Chains A and B, each alone.
Chain A
């Protein structure tokens, strides 16, 4: 079974982000880049499906600039067999729909039976690509998966979506798209052997024209990035616990009107 995992390279959560010149994107100088955490769950799950079946191929795909190769290399070190890098200036301002269309075009060429994504990338937090990809492909999709199992003959995936108050379990005929929620698995760390082996694995560069795609303007574009408005200064309530607690409740009721 061929499985494709779509990943994104994002700034590490702990990295300080600053607004760049132009005011529409962050200043990328000095940023530590990582594979978006939810995408690691997707990679891990793809590898587990392959291992359980005893055969198959896991292909990692990433849309991004040159630096995104590092993220693909990490996926190869975890155990993905090969990688595809969607790397073209035409995609610089890509929105979720442009990304979904590019991924769909690769998927039509590669013809995997299962596509895995993370539930959202932790930079833009849009969380739309999985659903949009499935729409462009005309495939069923299930987002925020906590469990999945592909049946023995590879015709169907049973997936449990996290919803308010519980899990909803669906059978999706393959091919299908599913997105990983935290809790699906615990991603493995690359082994030294994996890291060494990753250097020899293929990362194929793909341009928009290779997929028969033109440069289309994004449907959603950033007007401006802004710093958060400062929160009004808070206060630490002094005194012993009994006094502080009384004052807190009074303040919540009378000042903040929060209770």
Chain B
């Protein structure tokens, strides 16, 4: 249908859409839809297609081709642009992921339209869409609008209320033919990170973060133990990363990852502006620090002024007791 809101599917690279798609689809529906999913993949699963329908997509544009994996922006942007030119969606949304932040920017350039990256809210004002985005290290919010459709935007994960899955709702699956661009870049290899067994930082619903107060790399194990109990990702502040205690991929903040979990707990994190930039949209913030003047207490919902090395084991035990009930 012309005038649809497209949700570009982020999947696990094995044929299943990621949970964040429920958030993107949920927001597209709140804006009035109609909601359609666009899925570029080498192999879609039947379950995945059903899931997109159950979240509320009325149609799935399925672009299934070996050329879409591994991801290359040239190939994705060209295919999306061709389909958009034929179908005239009013908006094209995707979650902020390593693929889509690049592919949707490239797509917007190809279509000659604006992109609002890392949006945290949307509102229809008359017949125009206004997106809200954190700017200046999250110190201000910028409201932006587009000169013309399609309105291209990426959505920050964990911010938008996910659509609830409704059994029986299904999406019509269309398999349009699109030209596959000749990729100039060649995939060589994927190097997996050593798995911590804990959730990925940007996707986790609970994030535990350790700062300078952790005193050394050997102490992160106590945070990882808590992470295992409550299913949390473990991150670090810039001070801890710059000290070489944690690899950079665990850094939360302006020069690291931006996260927006349901629950953030900082241990020995002072709360420098550049750290707050990466976590201040978290829903509930807990801070544990020996220094009652630490700036993180200013934005924390709950604080404990105490030695983290006493608090962490006690808290882990208390969580364990609660969750075993």
Contact = CB atoms under 8 A, between A and B. Distances in A.
Given A218-B114, A220-B115, A231-B299, A100 B142 contact: no
A163 B251 CA distance: 14
Contacts of A217: 147
Q: Is the interface of A mostly helix, strand, loop or mixed?
A: mixed
Contacts, number: 261
B304 A259 contact: no
B234 interface: no
Given A131-B73, A164-B200, 5 more contacts: A125-B134, A168-B190, A220-B146, A225-B143, A252-B263
Nearest to B134: A125
Interface string B190-230: 11110100001011001000000000000000000000001
A221 B144 contact: yes
Contacts of A153: none
Contacts of B138: 228
A225 B71 CA distance: 35
A259 B301 contact: no
Nearest to B141: A226
Nearest to A241: B310
Interface of B: 70-74, 77, 97-99, 101-103, 105-106, 108-110, 112-118, 130, 132-148, 183-193, 195, 200, 202-203, 206, 230, 248-249, 251, 254-256, 262-263, 273-274, 277, 280, 283-286, 292, 297, 299-307, 310-311, 314-315, 318-319, 322
A192 interface: no
A132 interface: yes
Nearest to B99: A163
B304 A170 contact: no
Interface of A: 11, 13-14, 16-17, 19, 26, 37-38, 95-97, 100, 122-132, 134-136, 139-144, 158, 160-173, 176, 182-183, 217-228, 231-232, 234-237, 241-242, 244-246, 248-249, 251-253, 256, 258-259
Contacts of A232: 301
Contacts of B190: 166-169
A126 B141 contact: no
Contacts of B144: 220-223
B107 to A, nearest CB: 8
A14 to B, nearest CB: 6
8 contacts: A130-B105, A162-B98, A164-B200, A165-B193, A170-B188, A183-B248, A228-B280, A236-B304
B109 A223 contact: no
A127 B97 contact: no
Which 8 A-B pairs rank lowest in CB-CB distance, beginning with the nearest? A220-B114, A219-B114, A128-B105, A132-B109, A131-B105, A135-B109, A163-B98, A258-B263
A1 B49 CA distance: 48
Nearest to A23: B143
Contacts of A183: 248-249
A115 B139 CA distance: 31
